[in-house]
Amino acid sequence: MVAAHKGMNINAEEFMAVLDDALNALEKNNIGPREQEEVLFILHSMRKEIMLG
């Protein structure tokens, strides 16, 4: 993930916007609350690799 986002200088607002989009897609596809939580937890755990790289 670090290499894919290197030099993009992604900030917290942009990062959270992607998580919002992911949440919308999960809800739109009727993914259960527990699975939603698991996916968002995994995506959020990548923030240090993606943000401000």
Q: Provide, rounded to whole angstroms, the least separation between the CB of residue 46 and ligand HEM.
A: 5
Q: Provide, rounded to whole angstroms, the least separation between the CB of residue 36 and ligand HEM.
A: 14
DSSP string for residues in 9-33? ---HHHHHHHHHHHHHHHHHTT--H
Copy the structure tokens of residue 14: 């942009």
The residue ranges that bind ligand HEM (CB under 6 A) are 4-5, 8, 10, 14-15, 18, 43, 46, 50
Q: Provide, rounded to whole angstroms, the least separation between the CB of residue 26 and ligand HEM.
A: 13
